[in-house]
Amino acid sequence: MNIKKTVIVFAGVAAAALFFYFDLHRLLTLASLKANREMLLGYYAAHGSATVAGFMAVYIIQTALSLPGAAILSLAAGAIFGPIMGTVYVNIAATIGATLAFLATRYLLRDAVLNNFGARLEKMNRELEARGFNYLLFLRLVPLFPFFLINLAAGLTRLPLRTFFIGTMLGIIPGSFVFVNAGASLATIDSLAGIATPRVLGSFALLGLFALAPALYKTFRNHKGVEH
């Protein structure tokens, strides 16, 4: 590993270690958010631009380093900025953070993975280059797949950066809005489990299937064409 890669790895590990060493996760809880909401609103009223910039910076770092707390940050966006602008800020920050994680993984690990498993992954990479947008949209819409794992796994493939960025930005809109909108009514929330109800999850799954349908159809059509 060259010096640049070593520095990137060290910086990421150090930042994550500091997060857990200072127990910053205690600030990213529903109880903490409720207790500090008025203070946050007051600071936002006095320092609007700084609050937005600070919030987005924290969200980008959290996402890029795959740290816990995204759900609470999304609720905070709704509680502070409202459902519309909160969703906009969360969407932009989460997309940038995910893209940084994607690029870091690609830069640090993809060559090693391709050197060892390139032949086995070639078919999958060709499929992702052709229809990666549909697959990524499905993964982002269906909340069965951890957000950070998608970022890291995609970085190990030949999925185009533009496809990853656009697919992520569009795919996380519904989920982001659900949590941000819930945060706008923070006083009524007793637990995170009550936000993503089975009906909401089912709706996301249906959207994901619609997103995946074109890729499945093309794959089926190509398979039938080969048979004939």
Contact 83, 173 (CB under 8 A): no
Question: 9-13 long-range contacts, Cβ below 8 Å, gap at least 24?
Answer: 9/108, 12/65, 12/104
3-state secondary structure of 172: coil
DSSP secondary structure code for residue 185 in this structure = T
Rounded Cα gap, residues 32 and 28, in angstroms = 7
DSSP secondary structure code for residue 47 in this structure = -
**Residues 198, 35, 54, 146, CA torsion sign:** negative
**Amino acid, single-letter form, for residue 118:** G
Per-residue pLDDT of the chain (228 residues; tens, 9 = 90+): 688 888 888 999 999 999 988 888 888 999 999 999 999 999 999 999 999 999 999 999 999 999 999 999 999 999 999 999 999 999 999 999 999 999 999 999 887 777 777 677 787 888 888 889 999 999 998 877 889 999 999 998 889 999 999 999 999 999 999 999 999 998 888 888 778 777 777 877 788 888 888 777 676 666 555 554
Q: What is the DSSP string of 48-117?
A: HHHHHHHHHHHHHHHHHTT-S-HHHHHHHHHHHH-HHHHHHHHHHHHHHHHHHHHHHHHHHHHHHHHHHH
pTM of the predicted structure, to 2 decimals: 0.88
Rounded Cα gap, residues 154 and 190, in angstroms = 35
Give the start-to-end residue ranges of the domains of the chain. 3-227
